Amino acid sequence: AQSVTQLDSQVPVFEEAPVELRCNYSSSVSVYLFWYVQYPNQGLQLLLKYLSGSTLVKGINGFEAEFNKSQTSFHLRKPSVHISDTAEYFCAVSDLGRDDKIIFGKGTRLHILP
């Protein structure tokens, strides 16, 4: 069965520094990939998605992610973070050709340090 690994449960980063949140999934022929964000005391919203096409995907709030099929990864990056980026970030994968069920990672809490 498909699984999603977010290696870092928490990532502290200084404001205006770059950040990378890592996401790996178990191997599959064809997948859809997603990153969701949950700001404090709010619901989940989509940050970006990869369905097909360019492996570099741009999302909202200056975030981007790159699909790397050979490494089965979909890491999230931002070149310069702001205090408002403090949130929980969830990676999710849909394994096509099976039951299309979307599987979530356990989440990474991003702490922005002043």
Partner 1 sequence: GAGVSQSPSNKVTEKGKDVELRCDPISGHTALYWYRQSLGQGLEFLIYFQGNSAPDKSGLPSDRFSAERTGGSVSTLTIQRTQQEDSAVYLCASSPPIGEQFFGPGTRLTVL
- In the block, tokens 């994968």 appear at 93
- Cβ atoms within 10 A of the Cβ of 105, count? 23
Provide, rounded to whole angstroms, the least separation between the CB of residue 32 and partner 1: 8
Closest to 22 measured CA to CA, from 110, 85, 111: 110
**Is position 101 an interface residue for partner 1 (rule: CB under 8 A)?**
yes
**Is position 49 an interface residue for partner 1 (rule: CB under 8 A)?**
yes
Q: Under rule CB under 8 A, how many of the chain's residues touch partner 1?
A: 20
Residues 9-48 that bind partner 1 (CB under 8 A): 32, 34, 43-46
Provide, rounded to whole angstroms, the least separation between the CB of residue 80 and partner 1: 26
**Is position 97 an interface residue for partner 1 (rule: CB under 8 A)?**
no
- Answer for which of 90, 93, 95, 112 binds partner 1 (CB under 8 A) is 90
**Is position 7 an interface residue for partner 1 (rule: CB under 8 A)?**
no
Enumerate binding residues for partner 1 (CB under 8 A).
Answer: 32, 34, 43-46, 49, 51, 88, 90, 92, 99-107
